[in-house]
Structure 1
Amino acid sequence: MAMEIRYSNVSADYQLGPIRTKNVLDDVNLFVKPSSFTAIVGQTGAGKSSLLKVMNGLIRPKQGEVKIGKYSVSSNNDPTSLKEVRKRIGMVFQFPESQLFAETVEKDICFGPLNFGVGLSEAKEMAKTAIYQVGLDASFLPKSPFSLSGGQKRRVAIAGILAMKPDILILDEPGAGLDPIGKQEILSLIASWNKNNKLTTMMVTHEMDDVAKFADDVIVMEKGKIVFHDDVRTFFADLNQIQSWNLDIPEARRFQLLIEEKTGVSLPKICLTVEELADCLIEVGLA
């Protein structure tokens, strides 16, 4: 079931031992549409990862609440209510393969469902389904996860999240550390799950080409605040604003601006992908 996400006046601090960072989130108000694919961008330390972690209580709000469907995360959640929230949110951290630990791929994927009370035989069926969802097959299930390539490990780690059948998928730089082909394969799979299963999806990324290719909407964060939230074309339309945030633009958009400057011809729309740029060049007779 597709779930909406709503932040209401959410502020949060981050504490690791004696080190405390105040206002990693600062009075955040946000509504994320059900089934949407939202990219979260901004400079390092802007609060992007914190925005995701507060959803399942990894960081507790000191003020306000996050509503996930009918569930709520606030400063006074008890462990039982947080467990209900976490059943519905699949969170993929940076380098999720570092969390692999079991002796077989099957056992690793089964861990999450078993932890939430699913029986062993059902968990194994979930593992079979999930391994195919990430583009692998059942022959991988008896293998040691540590014998796999980096890209395969990443897929197995994500399969462990998908096996829990989340309603919401949140990802922190899911393509980090992968070669370009492996990264595009992972992101294409994520986009496919979003569309085919109506999984509300939020993804932190620094790669503007990935934002342009996969996202419906964009959130820009600065100093714990949301300073922009709109659709992807509106985001890439305002170059001055993008520069003020010290963010980049997609390669296709960069080529479009160069072509328009050199030829004096304005293309009929903002081009976010190479395919869109090629179509527009044909339309105006420049290709």
Structure 2
Amino acid sequence: MKLEHVTADYQLGPIRSFNVLQDVEMKVESGSFTAVIGKTGAGKSSLLKIMNGLLLPKQGKVTIGDAIITPGKNKKALKSIRKRVGMVFQFPESQLFAETVEQDICFGPLNFGASKEEAKELARKVIKQVGLTADILSKSPFTLSGGQKRRIAIAGILAMEPDILVLDEPGAGLDPKGKLDILSSIASWHKEQGLTTLIVTHDMEDVAQFANNIVIMDKGTVVLHDAVRNVFSNKAIIDKWQLDVPEALKFQMKIEEKTGVKLPKVCLTIEELTESLIEAGLA
């Protein structure tokens, strides 16, 4: 997926925000897991929407495989892109609407041309992928817990069998365990299905644990796109963009300052920190 000189406005009814994206240049490698970070209003959600065709560029183009999104793209052409790029909004459970879980999950596949039996088979498949059992398919989604609703909403996107999955703060509003469960599941789907995945997050623990690339946005543009370890290894970047850092790296910095011993690598997880401390003879 490639964005070339993409500029976009956002309009909802009479309300229009100009240049929510400004001259964005970005290439996302197939199979990568990318975290998108930045301050509120930096353009993170708009970046995901333009990848899905929910927001059209005012200038520039978005290339997804052999499909191209341009300012004049028609709705029929966008439909195929939206099947290919599955978007999970923040608090996706608020979009559940059907009488049963099965009907909710089947809605997307049916809309994209699947037969009723094909859609039901997909529902049975994805409900297991999201860690729920088939008996839940006959239940009303509104009787379920928040975490279950979140999984069902994501299952509805997975049922469309996208190549690219874009998620806007998928752990928002969940307790720490629920959030970890959802993100771990996303990482599993990413690996098992060979997806290209992008998530918007404010939590650097999520970035360190799950992503291999990071995109930093500021004022509607991509200011940095690099490997996670490269970013957290660069104090100048951390200071310039006022990035929080993972807890393991905070501990590493304190240990190095106190002992004067430089650890063999930048540690992004507690496991890495433990190994480095042993290697340096500090544990």
Classify the TM-score, shorter chain: over 0.9
Q: What SS does structure 2 have at the residue aligned with 1:141?
A: helix
State the alpha-carbon separation in 2 of the partners of residues 137 and 163 from structure 1: 15
State the alpha-carbon separation in 1 of the partners of residues 15 and 96 from structure 2: 28
1:75-154 alignment, distance < 5 Å: 75-154=71-150
State the alpha-carbon separation in 1 of the partners of residues 158 and 15 from structure 2: 34
Q: Given the alignment of the two structures, is residue 203 of structure 1 paired with residue 199 of structure 2, yes or no?
A: yes
Task: Judge conservation of contact 1:65–1:73 (CA < 8 Å) in 2.
Answer: yes
Q: What SS does structure 1 have at the residue aligned with 2:126?
A: helix
State the alpha-carbon separation in 1 of the partners of residues 109 and 191 from structure 2: 23
Q: 2:225 aligns with which of 220, 226, 229?
A: 229
CA apart distance, 1:284: 1.0
State the alpha-carbon separation in 1 of the partners of residues 18 and 10 from structure 2: 6
Which amino acid letter does the alignment assign opposite residue 39 of structure 1?
A: A
Number of residue-to-residue matches in the alignment: 283
Question: Aligned Cα RMSD in Å?
Answer: 0.8
TM-score norm. by structure 1 comes to 0.97
Percent identity reads 64
Q: Given the alignment of the two structures, is residue 60 of structure 1 paired with residue 83 of structure 2, yes or no?
A: no
Structure 1: give runs of 5+ residues left out of the alignment.
Answer: none
TM-score norm. by structure 2 comes to 0.98
State the alpha-carbon separation in 2 of the partners of residues 279 and 98 from structure 1: 43
Q: Given the alignment of the two structures, is residue 184 of structure 1 paired with residue 200 of structure 2, yes or no?
A: no
Report the counterpart of residue 258 of structure 1 in structure 2.
254
State the alpha-carbon separation in 1 of the partners of residues 219 and 260 from structure 2: 39
Q: Given the alignment of the two structures, is residue 244 of structure 1 paired with residue 240 of structure 2, yes or no?
A: yes
Task: Judge conservation of contact 2:52–2:86 (CA < 8 Å) in 1.
Answer: no
Q: Given the alignment of the two structures, is residue 8 of structure 1 paired with residue 1 of structure 2, yes or no?
A: no
Structure 2: give runs of 5+ residues left out of the alignment.
Answer: none
Which amino acid letter does the alignment assign opposite residue 154 of structure 1?
A: R
Report the counterpart of residue 26 of structure 2 in structure 1.
30
Task: Judge conservation of contact 1:56–1:73 (CA < 8 Å) in 2.
Answer: no
CA apart distance, 1:251: 0.5
CA apart distance, 1:242: 1.7
